[in-house]
Amino acid sequence: MNKRTLLMIPGPVEFEPAVMAAMGEPTTSHLAPDFVEAFGQSLQDMRLVFDSPSGQPLVLAGSGTLAMDCAGANLVEPGDKALVVETGYFSERFSLILERYGARVTHLSTSPGSRPSLEHVKAALEAESFKLMTITHVDTSTAVMAEVKELAALARHYGVLVIVDGVCSIAGEELHMDAWGVDLALTASQKAIGVPPGLALLMIGPRALEAFNRRINPVLNYYADWSNWLPIMQAYEGRKPSYFGTPPVNLIFALNISLRQILAEGMPARFSRHVAISQACKAGISALGLSQLPLHPEYAAHTLTAPRYPIGVSGADYLDRVLQGGVTLAGGLLPAIRKEYFRIGHMGAVTLADIVATLGAIEKALTGCGYEFTPNAGVEAAQASAKNPTNRH
């Protein structure tokens, strides 16, 4: 029997067949006209997906962590002050990266499942002058979504650069980079962008570019230095081949296809679909009597769900049973509470059918673990939620 399972982790996710077909095409030269066109079109499309007409797109071979490293390397100079709005494991990773390049980091942290309040952030911005602030739009370790629009407006008011880690949000959660005053947003290919792992994507706004151009010290990361890459991106967007490091040709062909699909769906429709799918999943989880890590529904992301295990259900045994039911889920990630919860990713090509299959496998696994609930309650609640669009926002 084919061993493929339904991949419902928060990245990588299930990808569209046309995207996968591009991965299997014969690799062309990175200077070939069809590749130049695909790369140029992808860079243009990124501006629409990030909603950043004024942005400079940058695509590198690497994962989301490289995109974060690239932002840190190019924007931080030794002694710069940075404010990190912490909502989980990936916010902490950003502070480690900034510190590596010499930043003095102030951490705004809260308990797991919560997020720093706007008042808390405002007080920190008032107390000291920072060069930049990082926000993790969706922290994949907690499924907490940050208030990017409000936080960015605050930081802008204090003249602080706004950097958004959108690895678990971009092309899934609503983001209007220019209108909200975000100076740099970054993501990776394997989540809502809908392409297998291997691409780091950044959109650099004009204020971030100015800060880069005002640097006194050299960038301490040769590969990630924007001086090496920005002329290459500008050349490809102008449909001219160029070279600094060999681009991942097939991944970029796949990116071109996925971005075209995303824009054909339309950004508002795509955001609403992610909200509807998320609500169906969360309704199913609640109907089974499971609580979630985010402390309030309005903190919860729409790209993943982080249910807590019910009493008596152990993570390893349970996740293995879900897998036997044909669905791959992820365990907890936040070290202090890793064994208390699991994660269901639902972004990109995800459909209601995937949520129903996932809840079916979850119900069977819970039963196998001896947990009692009304049979079929999860699946039915998800289907009912999907039928009733009234509570969508």
Minimum CB separation of residue 54 from ligand PMP in Å reads 24
- Can you tell me the distance from the alpha carbon of 352 to that of 383, in angstroms, rounded to the nearest whole number? 8
Q: List binders of ligand PMP among 158-197 (CB under 6 A).
A: 165, 167-168, 188
Q: Does 90 bind ligand PMP (CB under 6 A)?
A: yes
Helices (H), 148-248: 148-157, 177-180, 206-213, 226-237
Q: Residue 358, interface with ligand PMP (CB under 6 A)? A: no
User: Does 303 engage in binding with ligand PMP (CB under 6 A)?
Assistant: no
309 binds ligand PMP (CB under 6 A): no
Q: Between 195 and 355, name the residue whose CB sits nearer to ligand PMP.
A: 195
CA distances, 41 to each of 45, 57, 266 (Å): 6, 11, 17
Using CB under 6 A as the criterion, what x/- string covers residues 20-59 for binding ligand PMP?
----------------------------------------
As measured in angstroms, the least distance from the Cβ of 214 to ligand PMP is 27
- Nearer Cβ to ligand PMP, position 14 or 237? 14
Please, which residue, 64 or 378, has the CB nearer to ligand PMP?
64
* Distance between CA atoms of residues 287 and 67, nearest Å: 38
Q: How far is the CB of 105 from ligand PMP (least distance, A)?
A: 17
CB 10 within 8 A of CB 168: yes
Rounded to whole angstroms, the Cα distance separating 270 from 172 reads 7
Is 11 a binding residue for ligand PMP by CB under 6 A? The answer is: yes
Is residue 140 within the footprint of ligand PMP (CB under 6 A)? yes
Helices assigned H by DSSP within the chain: 17-23, 33-49, 64-75, 89-100, 118-127, 148-157, 177-180, 206-213, 226-237, 249-265, 267-287, 315-324, 352-368, 377-387
Minimal CA–CA distance to 349: which of 281, 277, 268? 277
Q: How far is the CB of 70 from ligand PMP (least distance, A)?
A: 12
Q: Of the two residues 114 and 242, which places its CB atom closer to ligand PMP in the complex?
A: 114
Residues in the chain, overall count? 393
Would you say 145 or 208 has its CB closer to ligand PMP?
A: 145
Extract the tokens encoding 370: 């001896």
Out of 5, 16, 20, 65, the residue judged to bind ligand PMP by CB under 6 A:
65
Q: How far is the CB of 138 from ligand PMP (least distance, A)?
A: 6
Nearer Cβ to ligand PMP (56/63): 63
Give me 172's structure tokens. Answer: 């899934």
Nearer Cβ to ligand PMP, position 188 or 366? 188
Kindly tell me which of 305 and 385 has the beta carbon lying closer to ligand PMP: 305
Rule CB under 6 A: say whether 64 interacts with ligand PMP.
yes
In this structure, what token pair is assigned to residue 122?
Answer: 């405002």
Provide the minimum distance between the beta carbon of 356 and ligand PMP in the complex, in angstroms, as a whole number: 25
Binding residue count for ligand PMP, defined by CB under 6 A:
12
Using CA atoms, how far residue 328 sits from 13, 14, 284, 307, in Å, is 10, 11, 17, 15
- Determine if 63 is a binding residue for ligand PMP (CB under 6 A): yes
Residue nearest to ligand PMP (CB): 64
Show the tokens assigned to 156: 């802008």
Contact 379, 356 (CB under 8 A): yes
CA dihedral 302, 296, 341, 314 (to 10 degrees): -130
Q: Is 234 in the site for ligand PMP (CB under 6 A)?
A: no
Residues of this chain that bind ligand PMP (CB under 6 A) = 11, 63-65, 90, 136, 139-140, 165, 167-168, 188
